[in-house]
């Protein structure tokens, strides 16, 4: 994930703690290791794979003399790079300000040392209060704008319901191949890139099923483990598309060694959104990556192989390769059967 933000990893340290340390998040021993690593590789930024409190972030920056970024800030940085539409930029900006607001004190600590005392307030405190008011106003303005987006989407959903056009929503871990699948099934031309959060803005296209019925297929933002709460809150207008869907297609990167953990992450987020009872099809994607490269495979032989191996052949599970177009007819038939049912 770090490379997606344009950073180069100079080193990695892992620590197992039952409870994170209050002052620095890491223990004193690990803090010493980080100081020693700084001497050897001269890193300029420390990234932690968890969310830090404002105090922990400040303490680490003072102890190490480098910029400290937690998981939430890293994800927000990637989202900023990926947002292309007005809606996407609004949602990312809202999440950024919500993240920044409790961390303002650290931005002005150098001024707090210059003044203050009984009956007085230092210039740092004055600046913090000014910034809090400004950011508070920006957050309220962005919330009003995102509320308008939510109302617009609600009106659009009501129109779709009136026309009785079912919605099929693609969900899955980031980089699982949802956009590639949308392109392959609907002849769409959305950006499909094997990068984290390549798609932030929902894209909807018409799909004609084998029984000639028409549905709308929607590609949504990819999920990731420990998704920061402010991200879910900012993108709630987008994620509400899932609640209105008649069917979810969970796209899984079946070739990933982390597929079980990624599936569990998707399950956890769907549970947070109260969507676990929504009808669902699981599409095990990228099966072409699991096949013997020394053998020539076509669609039929590939699908027959997975069926013969009895690899996930449950009723609502289908093996596909969105990139090669394998198994898409079977997926369309399962969608038609679930929508009709």
Structure token digits, residue 184: 């392959």
Q: How far apart are CA 203 and CA 152, in angstroms?
A: 15
pLDDT at 4: 63
pLDDT at 212 over 80: yes
pLDDT at 213: 92
For residue 310, give Cα distances in angstroms to 233, 282, 305, 319. 40, 15, 9, 11
pLDDT at 109 over 80: no
Can you give the residue ranges of every domain in the chain? Answer: 163-340
pLDDT at 171: 93
Structure token digits, residue 138: 């920006």
Least confident segment among 101-105, 188-192, 323-327, 328-332: 188-192
Q: How far apart are CA 182 and CA 186, in angstroms?
A: 6
- Global pTM value: 0.77
Q: How far apart are CA 136 and CA 133, in angstroms?
A: 5
Of 39, 34, 35, residue with least CA distance to 14: 34
Q: How far apart are CA 78 and CA 2, in angstroms?
A: 9
pLDDT at 253: 96
Of 156, 160, 176, residue with least CA distance to 237: 156
Read off the DSSP letter of residue 209: -
Structure token digits, residue 128: 């913090």
Superfamily of structural domain 163-340: P-loop containing nucleotide triphosphate hydrolases (3.40.50.300)
């Amino acid at each position: 994930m770090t490379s997606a933000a344009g950073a180069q990893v100079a080193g990695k340290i892992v620590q197992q703690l039952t409870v994170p340390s209050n002052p620095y998040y890491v223990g004193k021993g690990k803090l010493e290791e980080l100081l020693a690593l700084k001497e050897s590789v001269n890193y300029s930024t420390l990234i932690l794979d968890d969310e830090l409190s404002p105090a922990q972030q400040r303490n680490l920056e003072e102890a190490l003399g480098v910029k400290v970024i937690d998981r939430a800030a890293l994800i927000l940085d990637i989202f900023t790079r990926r947002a292309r539409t007005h809606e996407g930029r609004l949602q990312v900006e809202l999440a950024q300000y919500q993240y920044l607001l409790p961390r303002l004190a650290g931005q002005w600590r150098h001024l707090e040392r210059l003044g203050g005392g009984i009956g007085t307030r230092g210039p740092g405190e004055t600046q913090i209060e000014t910034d809090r008011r400004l950011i508070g106003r920006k957050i309220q303005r962005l919330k009003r704008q995102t509320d308008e987006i939510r109302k617009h989407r609600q009106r659009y959903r009501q129109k779709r319901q009136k026309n009785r056009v079912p919605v099929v929503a693609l969900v899955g871990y980031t980089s699982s191949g949802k956009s590639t699948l949308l392109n392959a099934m609907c002849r769409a031309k959305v950006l499909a890139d094997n990068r984290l959060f390549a798609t932030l803005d929902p894209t909807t296209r018409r799909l004609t099923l084998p029984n000639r019925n028409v549905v709308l297929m929607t590609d949504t933002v990819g999920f990731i483990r420990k998704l920061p709460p402010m991200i879910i809150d900012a993108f709630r207008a987008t994620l509400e598309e899932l609640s209105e869907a008649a069917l979810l297609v969970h796209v899984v990167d079946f070739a990933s060694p982390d597929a079980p953990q990624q599936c569990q992450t998707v399950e956890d987020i769907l549970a947070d959104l109260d969507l676990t009872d929504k009808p669902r099809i699981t599409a095990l994607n990228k099966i072409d990556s699991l096949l013997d490269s020394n053998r020539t495979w076509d669609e039929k032989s590939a699908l027959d192989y997975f069926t013969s191996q009895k690899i996930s052949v449950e009723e609502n599970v289908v093996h596909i390769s969105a990139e090669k177009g394998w198994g898409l007819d079977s997926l369309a038939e399962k969608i038609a059967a679930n929508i009709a049912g």
